[in-house]
Amino acid sequence: MKEERTIAIDFGAKRIGIAVTDPLNMFAYPLTTLLNDTKFIDNLKKILSQYSVVRIVVGMPYKESGEESATGKAVLEFVEMLRSKTSQEIILADERYSSAIALQRIIESVPSKKKRRDKSLIDKNAAAVLLEDYLRSIGK
């Protein structure tokens, strides 16, 4: 059976957090944080190939009320760019609390305050929270 993994993307203007599933699509792991720059799509394509990714879950930032946030427009533009540059299925998912949950996990599991301040740690962990929520929603 061919591996078919899913990744999640926590979009940010400066950094983009990436998480990936295990080969059975049961668990989510923080993978990396990429800079949101001109090399992003090439770096992402390497990950898509290396991990046999068939699906990309992109976090959509909603307000507490459920309305689209100001960042939502940038995310939708990012998703359109992804659709034009990749062939994977792209799914938008609610990411309202992913960064807060990721920060709490980091506080509980990373003893060093200096390491906790590493923003890329939050980004890739927020992507993992998003991916876990997606896996739960499809019954994995």
Q: By three-state DSSP, how is residue 85 classified?
A: helix
Q: How many domains does the chain have?
A: 1
User: Which of 128, 72, 131 has its CA nearest to residue 102?
Assistant: 128
Q: Which residues form the domain of 60?
A: 5-137
Q: Quick check: 55 and 88 in contact, CB under 8 A?
A: yes
Q: How confident is the model at residue 71 (pLDDT cuts 50, 70, 90)?
A: confident
Q: How confident is the model at residue 5 (pLDDT cuts 50, 70, 90)?
A: very high
Q: By three-state DSSP, how is residue 64 classified?
A: coil
pLDDT at position 56? 98
Cα angle for residues 75, 134, 73 (degrees, 5° grid):
10
pLDDT at position 92? 93
pLDDT over 60 (residue 116): no
pLDDT at position 38? 96
What does the mean pLDDT of the chain come to? 87
pLDDT over 90 (residue 121): no
* % of the chain residues with pLDDT over 90: 58
Mean predicted confidence (pLDDT) in 93-121: 71
CATH of residue 103's domain is 3.30.420.140
Taking the model in full, what pTM does it have?
0.85
pLDDT at position 139? 83
Q: How confident is the model at residue 95 (pLDDT cuts 50, 70, 90)?
A: confident
Report pLDDT digits (tens) over 8-53. Answer: 999 999 999 999 999 999 999 999 999 999 999 999 999 999 999 9
Q: Quick check: 10 and 59 in contact, CB under 8 A?
A: yes
Helices 119-137 and 98-109: crossing angle, nearest 10°? Answer: 120
